[in-house]
Structure 1
């Protein structure tokens, strides 16, 4: 695992908050929510800080970190199918950015996407029964989450709907709907200078 410093979100900026965590903890970039929000708005990725697209998260990371320093791999098969890949990447220094449904305590849940949220996975634990637990941070708490891999995978795969309160002109909802732009998609990024890896 790596040391990852918390960065709390302001409004619907959970995706931007975990990019700040990544920049501060791994890339030695001092990123602020304010600057990330302005950049993502300038690219028409967001209006209020919401990030409903893995592809847009990837593009934003490459822009603010510099594509010469970051190598990002975008995985589309799903958290379950890519389990071995993701675990091996984390073991070799990767982090993972993953969308999921957030429960009242910020743990993964199954609400069909109505509580869509972003988390940064920065380490893992394995017990004697081959159960994998992921170490996570997200933008609504300073505490580290310890989540079963299977529960986060199920939560990621259940992102099917957008909260009706968000389906208006106040948010940027890319074409294709939440199932196409969030549910099965993961990306991996590598700090080329230090060979540390990160994943979305």
Structure 2
């Protein structure tokens, strides 16, 4: 979305395979996803976007301020049947692109005092529609990414799991990517 098709999905998949991030298109590491984004920006000769791996703090004053200032987030989460965030321990891990924010009422001094007051607008590959979820709901789902799907682990395909699994330091849990200067 950032690079306007300058690098094709097939090219990105080939990069993930060559770099050892993925075998089948799975991206189970925020660190690797950030590296892939940097490579894609470089190939597309896009130099006005900064990419930062963030740990913890998805539902925080700092992240909300960054979203209000135009940041875009790439967040791993557990996707429910309707693709909204859920809590399945990482068994349905997916990625959402947070591309907007809505604050329902003036929060006064603290955005995080009222978890149902902050909504994010999200896109994901499973739907052509924009979704609106509470940031707290997305945060809880992101913090719940503990283990790779046992069902996928037995499907006969080889997946590239990061050292420590998806719940570890090199995985997805309590991590996201922030893009600024768009």
Decide: shared fold, TM above 0.5: yes
Q: 2:58 aligns with which of 79, 82, 90?
A: 79
Aligned residue number for residue 127 of structure 1:
104
Deviation, structure 1 residue 156 = 0.6
Aligned residue number for residue 30 of structure 2:
54
Greater Rg by CA: 2
Secondary structure of residue in 1 paired with 2:28: coil
Unaligned residue ranges in structure 2 (runs of 5+):
108-116
Deviation, structure 1 residue 53 = 0.3
Deviation, structure 1 residue 166 = 2.8
Residues paired across the two proteins, number: 166
**2:153 counterpart of 1:177:** no
Contact 1:79 1:157 in 2 (8 A): no
For 1:78 and 1:165, the matched residues in 2 are separated by 30
State TM-score, norm by structure 1. Answer: 0.77
1:108 to 1:129, Cα distance in 2 relative to 1, 3 A: farther
Contact 1:78 1:186 in 2 (8 A): no
RMSD, aligned α-carbons: 1.8
Contact 1:41 1:47 in 2 (8 A): yes
Deviation, structure 1 residue 68 = 7.4
**2:41 counterpart of 1:65:** yes
